[in-house]
Amino acid sequence: MPGSHAIIGDRAYGEDAETVARLGRAAAEGLIAGGVLPVFKHVPGHGRARADSHLELPTVETSREELERSDFAPFRANADLPVAMTAHVVFKAIDPDRPATLSPIVVNEIIRGFIGFDGLLMSDDLSMKALAGSFRDRARALFAAGVDLALHCNGDLAEAGDVAAEAPELAGKAQERAEKALARIAGERLAFDPVDSREKLAAALASAA
């Protein structure tokens, strides 16, 4: 997205929803065929963020109608994929007070509702500076919002312990989603030819340019 922060950079597949949806689908299907679970992120969108959520909380002012038409569309087109990761981004038109990761409005109305994603939903890293409050507060809020798994990535065992203390045992719908996701990679693996695959990727990217 023009004007967005460079932190996303080449992790983005393009600037239009159709291209992003198509290339994202191809990448996900390739990973599944190779026995790897793909995680689509950062749902419901990070392309309009003008700040690095590792360092501060991004806020998006765009209307809900425009977000549904553009930013949310690639996720909606791929809502049947098994796993997704939330965005530490505030969408003011939807929930002006909480980033998507901690927002029951965004999780239920947008991710589970408009987008239609019913797979395993994990948070982005809870140690990122976009989030405020204690690690217990962060973990408690994300589970209350409806996120299935808490992700803590920086290796600080004290912080990880606080997150784990607020994490419920995987059960119920969350466990069903985890088992369903793992079932997607339970079959035989396709043989992988790195040379042929690189050529196919280059051709796909060229056709999308």
What is the CATH number for 135?
3.20.20.300
**Domain-located, residue 184:** yes
**Domain-located, residue 3:** no
**Domain-located, residue 1:** no
**Domain-located, residue 134:** yes
Q: What pTM was computed for the model? A: 0.85
Structure tokens at 32: 């599944």
Question: Which residue numbers are catalytic?
Answer: 54, 124
Q: What is the mean pLDDT of each run of 10 residues along the chain (209 residues)?
A: 59 81 93 93 88 86 96 96 97 97 98 98 96 97 98 94 96 97 84 79 80
**Domain-located, residue 2:** no
CB within 8 Å of 42: residues ≥ 6 apart: 85, 86, 87, 88, 89, 100, 124
Structural domain boundaries enclosing 99: 9-208
- How many domains is the chain built from? 1
